[in-house]
Structure 1
Amino acid sequence: MSRAMNSMSSTSAATVFKKSRLAGFFLLLGVVACQDAPTTEQQLLSRASTDGAAAAQLARLRLAENDLTAALQWWRQAAALDAPGALEHALMLQVRLEGKLATAHWLTAQQAAGQDYTHQLQPQLLAELGLWAMPPQTEFSAAENLAGASCSLRIQPVVTSAAAERTYQLLAQQWQQDPQLSQLPVCFAAVVRVQSTLLNCSEQAASRIHCEYQQLQQLVQQGQFQQLLLLGGRGIASFNNGIIQLPEDANLALLRHEFLHIAGFLDEYALSALAARAVCQSGRIAPNLLVGADNSTLARYRQRYRVATQDIELTAVDTCQAVGLQAYRPVAAVNSMRHFEAPLPQLYFDLLQQELEQAALLMPVQYYFAYLARQQEAWQDWYQLMHTAAGFGYPPAIRALSKLNQTTTAAAAAAED
């Protein structure tokens, strides 16, 4: 029994000793590994100024550590040393960190500084950043009638990236297939590509998209269209001054909502105080909104929009609550002016068609650009833009030119005297 115990103890001791030796061996390996890692990284650092592969390896190490800013710098260093694939990695990471516009600006700045990376990139990748292989377009082909009807309203689509162009092509197809929109007398010109760095469309998700629209002045001056449809940037869509602004990933419901603004339709959700002060005046009427429900306002609405009393179901909406006024829509159902994805009521569609029959009364984008030209005292541009707006039959433009002619005539007569 004692011998067996001793034998078991010897065996157990030997086992413990072996385990101890193994544990010590692995501990030694761990210590060596900890000593080798900094040495290996130091070697990479010493070579990275001239060795693209070393710089790329450092970029991967920083990426694994989630140090994205450092990873971006090393990918750029690797790209400068022509490491295969490094530039694509750098661009994808910069898009993730800073957005597409900042990435496009970085590329163009590098090119201006004498480091032209574009030869390393496929045209499609450049187009995704809005850096088209061809120079920015300033001319376009004749309008295409997507709706299959006469053109009361012509729209010029402009895109700032390949993604925006894909979105527009999808929207154009869906517009043709939509049972309501396809009936409208609306024509779309061939799409125009513009460099993203030229328009600088913002990319803040919670803010309205802003672009440098004046960069499109030559296009607007040359064009025989009344409205611009601009797809670019990321953020909140809008319609102002003849420009429908959509994000590059917009859907048809959003386009429909903003398009209705062209015809004077107003939002049926609560506006900000600033917007409400501009929109909400007691007694105002729009195709889909009455500010106040007194008999006078209702009578003016019925007369202006030729709507029968029995077709009106006044329903309170929140549009003007920020300024303490109650607004009403003429239908009971929640619709696309309240929620983009909601249906467009038949009454709204009828009113939309009615307004498009009088498209000359809808402000063309040239009138807005004429206003901008006047601010800059660019009178030749003002005259050309105002002349185009008047050619569409827009009454304020016609009056402005008539006033100019009267003033010129009076000045000439005074000079003769």
Structure 2
Amino acid sequence: MNPKLVFKRVLKSRFIGFFAFVLLTSCQPNTDSQAELIQRALHEPAAAMQLANQRLATAQYNEALYWFRQAALLGNNAALEHALQLQQRVQGRLASAQWLQQQLDANAIAISAVSDAQRATLGLWAEHQPLVSGFKHAQGCQLTLQPVISQQLGADTWQRLLQQWQQDRQLSQLPVCFLSVYTVNSTELACTEDSDSLIQCQYNVLNSLVAKGTFSQLLVIAGRGKAGYNNGIVQLPDNASLALLRHEFMHILGFVDEYQLAARNAQQVCQLGVIYPNVIIGNDVTGYLQQWQLTPEDITLTAVDSCQVTPLQAYRVVSQANVMRFYELELPDLYFQLAKKAIAQPEQLMPVQYYFAYLARQQQNWPQWQQFMQQASAMGYADATQALAL
């Protein structure tokens, strides 16, 4: 069977339930010729809606979207709702938000035609932005994260994750604090929505937040795709689970993945003399035990694939597969104890300000570089202090 036909049938099925009432209207007899209807649709919203319904009924989604938009620009608010929902399903929420923002900026669509709920869904925040309060641990804040969201789904997801964190047997014991959620327009943060790739965002729009922030890590819940941690930024999709958050959080503390790393990452991670909480590179067991104040009886060396693309062998320090191999699995008790030790030395964890100093250096913004580097140094991060001394 032609793959294009299979895709077309699958895609068509996704819209049948949602647009059932629209399809029903499209089944009404059409006495106008298409040419006449198109001419009328340039000025009459009802005619544009009729064309959109016809195109939708025959799975011509791009054409249906065009005519829904035409009807919306002629003042039909129902057409605007259809256009936004159809575009989200065909092109994604970011593309929908960008189109709507363009129309609002051009006064082609009145702001009164868009509800607060519609704007929040797309991440075009009205004056009253959704707020998820922060959380301060009873034992204090050895590590503080700043949650960032760009759409309503991200806010809802973070509300759920924060509650689950506080109920988790292990995570709830860690002296970790979360500030109140920070919202930024989706069109500015512009997080990617490719399910097969790592999520990428325009982090430079967070410069002012990082510059005045009393936190060392960013937790960005936005976009769709693969989660990741890099340079002080935990990036999660806006439908993330607690298990996924836990896995990426462990990266903040220096834990490395126990599956085969990509060549570029392996070259950075797989180096002799570098000590991680969960993995030993090569055979430097003595240095590992000294670093984490453990005895040989505390660990069970088990080969893992982390450094498979390099000449070095990596070993995890527990026997069972765990959260660092498959994020849905459990956090071993030893890893939990090591996590507490890592958090007890927050000055060893790279703050996001250090990364933003690097970005400022790329742009040759030296005053901003100085500010971010001073912030990182004030947090006790030795590399930042050394950079300022040069």
2:139 maps to a residue whose letter is A
Aligned to 1:144: 135
2:72 maps to amino acid: A
> Which of 349, 353, 368 is the aligned partner of 1:366?
353
Distance apart, 1:43 and its partner CA: 4.2
Structure 1 residues 229 and 144: CA distance shift in structure 2, 3 A? same
- Residue 384 of structure 1: how far off its partner (Å): 1.7
Q: Distance in 2 between matches of 1:143 and 1:55?
A: 47
After TM superposition, the structure 1 = structure 2 runs for residues 365-384 of structure 1, keeping only pairs within 5 Å, are 365-384=352-371
Asked if the contact 1:136–1:194 (Cα under 8 Å) also holds between the matched residues in 2, the reply is no
Name the CA shift for 1:61/1:286 in 2 (closer, same or farther; >3 Å).
same
Residue 4 of structure 2 corresponds to none
CA distance in 2, matches of 1:41, 1:332: 69
Q: Deviations over 1:190-216 (max 9, x none)?
A: 000000011110110000000011110
Instruction: Give the letter aligned to residue 326 of structure 1.
Output: Q
Give the counterpart letter for 1:392 in structure 2.
Answer: M
SS at match of 1:337: coil
Distance 1:213 1:161, change over 3 A: same
Q: Give deviations 1:250-308, integer Å, cap 9, x for gaps.
A: 0100000000001100000111122212211245431000112x3xx010011111121
Determine the structure 2 residue equivalent to 1:156: 146
The answer (yes or no) to whether the contact 2:73–2:109 under 8 Å persists in 1 is no
Q: What's the TM-score once normalised by structure 1's chain length? A: 0.83
2:321 match: secondary structure: coil
Where does residue 24 of structure 1 map in the other structure?
Answer: none
Q: Give the whole-Å Cα distance in 1 for the aligned partners of 2:177 and 2:373.
A: 22
Q: Secondary structure at the match of 1:85?
A: helix
> Hey, what does 1:218 align to over in structure 2?
208
| CA–CA separation in structure 2 for the residues paired with 1:117 and 1:314 | 64
1:254 — aligned with what?
244
Query: Offset at 1:323?
Result: 1.9
Provide the rounded CA distance (Å) in 2 between the counterparts of 1:371 and 1:135.
Answer: 34
Output aligned runs, 1:53-132, within 5 Å: 53-132=46-125
**Counterpart secondary structure, 2:103:** helix
Query: Is 1:179 matched with 2:169?
Result: yes
For the residue of structure 2 that corresponds to 1:156, the secondary structure is strand
Structure 1: which amino acid aligns with 2:198?
R
1:398 to 367, 381, 385: 385
Structure 2 equivalent of residue 265 of structure 1: 255
Greater mean deviation of Cα atoms: 127-136 or 309-318: 127-136
Counterpart CA distance in 2 for 1:136 and 1:391 is: 32
Q: Tell me if the contact between 1:174 and 1:252 (Cα under 8 Å) persists in the aligned partners.
A: yes
The total of aligned residue pairs comes to 362
Gaps of 5+ in 2: 1-28
* RMSD (Å), alpha carbons: 2.0
Alignment partner, residue 21 of structure 2 = none
Please tell me whether residue 389 in structure 1 is matched to residue 383 in structure 2: no
Note if 1:189 corresponds to 2:162: no
**For residues 325 and 31 of structure 2, what CA distance do their matches in structure 1 show?**
60
Tell me the secondary structure at the aligned position of residue 59 of structure 1.
helix
Deviation of 1:148 (Å): 2.6
Please name the residue that 2:306 is paired with: 319
Q: Which amino acid aligns with 2:251?
A: H
| Letter matched to residue 322 of structure 2 | N
Q: CA deviation at 1:322?
A: 1.6
Unaligned runs of 5+ in 1: 1-35, 405-417
CA distance in 2, matches of 1:39, 1:143: 59
Return the letter of the residue paired with 1:230: V
* Structure showing greater Rg: 1
Matched residue, 1:199: 189
1:278 to 268, 275, 299: 268
CA contact (8 A) 1:209 1:245 kept: yes
Aligned-residue identity in percent:
49
C-alpha change, 1:391 and 1:135, in structure 2 (3 Å) is farther
Paired amino acid for 2:95: A
User: In 2 relative to 1, CA 397–143 (structure 1 residues): closer, same or farther, beyond 3 Å?
Assistant: farther
Range with greater deviation from structure 2 (68-77 or 370-379): 370-379
Conservation of the 8 A alpha-carbon contact between 1:373 and 1:379: yes
Structure-2 separation of matches of 1:42 and 1:380? 62
Quote the residue 2:328 is aligned against. Answer: 341
1:350 pairs with 2:343:
no
**Residues 383, 283 of structure 1: CA spacing in aligned structure 2 closer, same or farther, 3 A cutoff?**
closer
Using the TM superposition, give the Cα deviation of residue 108 of structure 1 relative to its aligned residue in structure 2, in angstroms.
Answer: 1.3
Counterpart position of 1:233: 223
Residue 46, structure 1, aligned to residue 39, structure 2: yes
2:185 aligned partner, one-letter code: Q
Which is worse superposed, 283-292 or 257-266? 283-292
Q: Using the alignment, how far apart are the partners of 2:132 and 2:191 within structure 1?
A: 24
